[in-house]
Amino acid sequence: MTDVVTSPNTRALLDRPTVGSPTVGSAGSVTSGPTSSGPTRGTAANAGGQTGADGGRQPIRSAVIRAAQLARDAEDHARKRQHAKGKYTARERLDLLFDTDTFEEIGRFSGGNINDGVAGSAVITGFGEVYGRKVAVYAQDFSVKGGTMGRAEGAKICHLMDMAMDLKIPVVALIDSGGARIQEGVAALTQYGHIFRRTCDASGFIPQISLILGPCAGGAVYCPALTDLIIMTKENSNMFVTGPDVIKVTTGETVSMDELGGGYVHNAKSGVAHYLGEDEADAIDYARTVLAYLPSSSDAKPPVYAYASGHAEAEAAKRLATIVPANDRQPYDVLDVIRCIVDYGEFVQVHELFAQSAVVGFACIDGHPVGVVANQPNVRAGILDVDSSEKVARFVRLCDAFNLPVITLVDVPGYKPGSDQEHAGIIRRGAKVIYAYANAQVPMVTVILRKAFGGAYIVMGSKAIGADMNFAWPSSQIAVLGAAGAVNIIHRKDLQKAKEAGRDVNELRKQLADEYERTTVNANLSLEMGEIDAMIDPEQTREVIEQSLRLLAGKRRHPRTTKHHGNGPL
């Protein structure tokens, strides 16, 4: 970065007293060499006054040399503490996040005291580039006072977020903190309130991604909870409002940190997190990947990538005809369908481990980023339940906020029945899907792959709820109920009479079901009503989606009322 502390002249002065001293990397971090105490304060003062004998170098004030040495020593200390736990330092994480030599730090020594040997606060803030586009970042440094939040840290984060909103660029938070600094009391807690307010102001305006790379407890958990995506790792990541020790004292329950709020728990059970990284490098790489699909702000269009179709697309189109079984009760993996439709078969899942009867994620169609929503017949027949409903709704809202078209692939038997679902709030939580689709104003294209029954047909991107273009495969079934369920209700008396007369009830039920399927459980009525725009062969799916997106490229947002905001189900 462009900082005299990391300039070649300053580093040369620091390196001269001790052979083999460490050097400073692209993010201002120590990248190699053994630990060295470096020059003393007196040595730094002498070094700063030398000029002509050292090749005409300009004099560097002793305070600058002192600051540079503090920065180097701080990174040495951070490396010792973090590496022992299998974790990267905050600056090493920045090196992984940003394109090479693009990080520009702001307020490096803010909150520090150079004369008293304090290098700075427990958070690093600045800007860098991810795939050539500017991104703001704050990275908590656990090696400094446990990464705790105090006045200086809060002020730095708020200043960064204000700049990010002014510049209309994403914010990435690297979380590794012991929470509010107890010594500062309410002053520390207040900083969380300031950050909450700014996070809410930025919500839906600029992308916000949180990486949990260490502890995140108490009120601090609501900083990432308010952002668009949360990424955790299998080791070292923890999030919880109340820690294991307090739980044991208050309830008597004994639970480990991982069992309470580890990465797997929040990815597979609570749904708080959206991706589980194998390690820190994997988690950071996922954040870079997601940013590649999103625009810098809601005022911008998503990036466009060069793409040329060829033989691979033709082969993928042919495979589509063989993936979905004719038997509507036979499962298949909808990911196979998605990969045959999107560019290069590349699909970046979100919430992969949570509510797996639905699949959501990012992909490209003809070089243009899109959001994909699909039912997963491999898991509980692709049914909508309380968790999958919230998963779908949140993702559709994310896509709508950041101008990504939504592609919906439907194969759903309905909402999951049962008292457990009713008591868990299937009405309230299922309504979130309706609210998300009905309010979305981005281009929306829906393809019914096999079946769409009952209310689930309506909410999964139907034309009635606001989708722009709707298509169906020839074997698709659209009805209030499947044939078996419908026959049991419609012909209940006929079946009872047949049983009393000694006739073969199963044979009669099959005949009635076949007739119901022929006359009712198909897409014909939807076609006739205009709810389906066209029946397409599976091989045409990608081509039709491409054409639809080109047609809808000029779609614009229009305010429908003068209301302040909606009051959707929460």
| 219 part of the active site | yes
Out of 90, 173, 456, 479, pick the active-site residue.
456
- Please say whether the dihedral angle defined by the alpha carbons of residues 564, 207, 468 and 430, taken in this order, is positive or negative: negative
Out of 218, 271, 277, 461, pick the active-site residue.
218
Residues 213 and 175: beta-carbon distance below 8 Å: yes
Distance CA 137, CA 52 (A): 40
Out of 146, 204, 219, 454, pick the active-site residue.
219
Out of 243, 345, 454, 455, pick the active-site residue.
455
The β-bridge relationship of strands 208-212 and 171-175 is: parallel
C-alpha distances (whole Å) from 295 to each of 168, 207, 292, 322 are 10, 8, 8, 36
Expressed in angstroms, the distance from the first to the final Cα of the chain is 44
Phi first, then psi: give them for residue 209, nearest 5 degrees: -125, 135
Tokens of 320: 């589509």
Residues 117 and 14: beta-carbon distance below 8 Å: no
Tokens of 510: 């099959």
CA-CA-CA-CA dihedral for 318, 483, 460, 548, to nearest 10: 40
Tokens 């809202």 locate to 397
C-alpha distances (whole Å) from 31 to each of 72, 88, 299, 523 are 10, 12, 38, 62
| 455 part of the active site | yes
Which residues lie closer than 8 Å to 138 by C-beta, 6 or more apart? 123, 124, 125, 156, 157, 160, 171, 173, 174
Nearest to 292 by CA among 135, 101, 104: 135
| 218 part of the active site | yes
Three-state SS across 77-113? HHHHHHHCCCCCCHHHHHHHHCCCCCCEEECCCCCCE
Which residues lie closer than 8 Å to 91 by C-beta, 6 or more apart? 25, 27, 28, 29, 30, 75, 78, 124, 139
Strands (DSSP E) found in 418-493: 444-453, 469-472, 477-479
Distance CA 33, CA 79 (A): 12
Tokens of 216: 């995140």
Q: List the catalytic residues.
A: 218-219, 455-456
